[in-house]
A and B are shown apart, each in its own frame.
Chain A
């Protein structure tokens, strides 16, 4: 409800708006921390083949002394249950997390934003129907549904992304819907309509610029949720079997006795990796939301 009551940002000048966001982001220590954390992961993901000492996808002949070998000069983070280098797998694992995060959130936000704007602008029956669907999705418990969906579709990375989109677009739609409802009643929209501007023009020129920053903040949040969901599913054994992700690394290490032999080097890096990247996005999302929509602050971190 607070979303409807809250004031949308007043600046209609988009160019200056973006620059303000960027400036404030750089000035906030939290935002800067988030940016730096993500820059590290992004670098690691993009340059994985050059940064990683070994190719984690290459088959390795495991010997009894190379399984769960502790960190050494040869393997800075030791080896895993298959005698493979943990550091290389860790570096390549960043790719999966980021791809899932980016693709899932981009499509989620696109669909959610579109539906939210259409339902909010045209209101009435469309809005009612949208909220009805959203309410049903809100009632169904997330994680059990994820598990069912992914085992139904088959555990490939694209299916995991699809499941994440299916379950998270309604949240964005709801948020945007509430915003558009309040913007629609503002005077400049009424005036534009009185002059004779078409709906498409009003949406493009008046509503979109005001909603976009909120969508941007939501995007960071959706990314962190998507990464959490992917790693959770992978930990439960529903990850893409052909890819190395932090979740599957944890799943294999946990399921194959890394805990009982005390092989912390196989567990800590993927675990910390997940926390690192999610924390980065959460910080970034929090700061952006704080800038574009200060009143909605309390709704964060639920």
Chain B
């Protein structure tokens, strides 16, 4: 067990580093970064003239004037923050603030300005005064660059986390409570009308993308219900800004518990339904497999009550494969549901990620992606350990 844990933790560490490198590189080479945005403004506007200083400032904020490997190392472990050991390599070039420009003249008379070399290099000594994080590795994700400028990413995540947690937690719990009985009952009454109905619903549910379902829900429960003068549900956001009146229910105070609850219903319902569709099928399948085992027949032959056979003998064993599915839950609890949160304008971490990508807030996007990977790895580890607990035949090795 100990050897297994050590090996697995080491493996997880390596995978995390690889994932960190991948996500960091991917984000920084994607086009449409902050400099492009700035230059775009210059071309479009003309009102706010942007000069070299502005570009320099933006570059400094995003650390774009530092070479990628050094930048990555600063992000990962918060080093180097200045000359090594206080004095070594103060004049080593680690980046370039203003690239050199070369005018190329082609034989046919065209000229073109190409960036080449470096006019004003950045040295280790220049890094000394700069703000820098202690490094992702030491759980400091740096500061948000765009969304909440210069506030720690952790703060930003902290304000969004509760929303994601209670949306995902609520829907996961609800889905579990509903899906397991449905799966068990469908298996016990295989090929009954109930089973066929549930199968149909599961098929439709698994083909129904969350945004389609979400839009339909908003259309029916918010817009059309409101038009028809029926009680309706608010269509988005987690908390209302103004009081509003709903037929039959009266005026609802913005920010009250009831207001939050009404807004919680639709996104939670969408996520729950989609989980139920998959999970109930899964429980049904593994339950069917267990019900055909010899020991179940033995239990029945001994005269054990049918309810005891199903709930005690069969259900317990049929839930073992189900643990695998729950491994991903830890990560989704935190990562939230990107698309559902976008549809319902839910201020959770999923939407934060989309926002961060759209506005090139790299520190935020990177932090979220990395946390997600780590949680998924932890989820897989917990699953493996849980397996040995519920099924003693499985040994870790």
A224-B30 Cα distance, complex, nearest whole Å: 28
**Closest B residue, CB atoms, query A142:** B338
Which residues of chain B have C-beta atoms less than 8 A from A235's C-beta? 209, 211, 339
A-side interface size class: 35 or more
- CB pair B30–A148 under 8 Å, yes or no, is yes
A273-B335 Cα distance, complex, nearest whole Å: 29
B364 adjacent to chain A (CB < 8 Å) = no
Which of B23, B212, B285 contacts A271 (CB under 8 A)? B212
A136 adjacent to chain B (CB < 8 Å) = yes
Hey, what's the 0/1 contact readout for A218-249 against B, CB within 8 Å counting as 1?
A: 00000010001001100110000000000000
B186 adjacent to chain A (CB < 8 Å) = no
A147-B30 Cα distance, complex, nearest whole Å: 11
Given known A152-B31, A282-B207, A302-B282, contact A136–B215 (CB-CB < 8 A): no
Q: How far is the CB of A266 from chain B (nearest CB, A)?
A: 10
B93 adjacent to chain A (CB < 8 Å) = no
- CB pair B208–A275 under 8 Å, yes or no, is yes
- CB pair A232–B219 under 8 Å, yes or no, is no
A144-B325 Cα distance, complex, nearest whole Å: 20
Considering only residues 105-140 of chain A, those with a C-beta below 8 Å from chain B are: 135-136, 139-140
Given known A141-B335, A236-B354, A250-B215, contact A228–B376 (CB-CB < 8 A): no
- CB pair A236–B339 under 8 Å, yes or no, is yes
- CB pair A298–B286 under 8 Å, yes or no, is yes
Hey, what's the 0/1 contact readout for A270-302 against B, CB within 8 Å counting as 1?
A: 011011001100110010000000000111111
A154-B206 Cα distance, complex, nearest whole Å: 29
A136-B215 Cα distance, complex, nearest whole Å: 34
Q: How far is the CB of A172 from chain B (nearest CB, A)?
A: 19
- CB pair B207–A140 under 8 Å, yes or no, is no
Which residues of chain A have C-beta atoms less than 8 A from B204's C-beta? 275, 279
B311 adjacent to chain A (CB < 8 Å) = no
B90 adjacent to chain A (CB < 8 Å) = no
A254 adjacent to chain B (CB < 8 Å) = yes
- CB pair B207–A139 under 8 Å, yes or no, is no
**Closest A residue, CB atoms, query B338:** A143
B29 adjacent to chain A (CB < 8 Å) = yes
Hey, what's the 0/1 contact readout for A72-114 against B, CB within 8 Å counting as 1?
A: 0000000000000000000000000000000000000000000
**Closest B residue, CB atoms, query A34:** B203
A39 adjacent to chain B (CB < 8 Å) = no
Q: How far is the CB of B221 from chain A (nearest CB, A)?
A: 11
- CB pair B216–A298 under 8 Å, yes or no, is no
- CB pair A250–B219 under 8 Å, yes or no, is no
Which of A140, A267, A298 contacts B215 (CB under 8 A)? A267
Contact segment of B14-22, B41-49, B58-66, B253-261: B14-22
Hey, what's the 0/1 contact readout for B189-222 against A, CB within 8 Å counting as 1?
A: 0000000000000111011110110011011001
Which residues of chain A have C-beta atoms less than 8 A from B227's C-beta? 262
- CB pair B216–A267 under 8 Å, yes or no, is yes
- Can you give 22 A-B contacts (C-beta < 8 A)? A141-B372, A141-B376, A144-B338, A144-B353, A147-B357, A148-B23, A151-B31, A152-B31, A154-B31, A228-B209, A231-B212, A232-B209, A259-B219, A278-B209, A282-B206, A298-B285, A299-B285, A301-B277, A301-B278, A301-B282, A302-B278, A302-B325
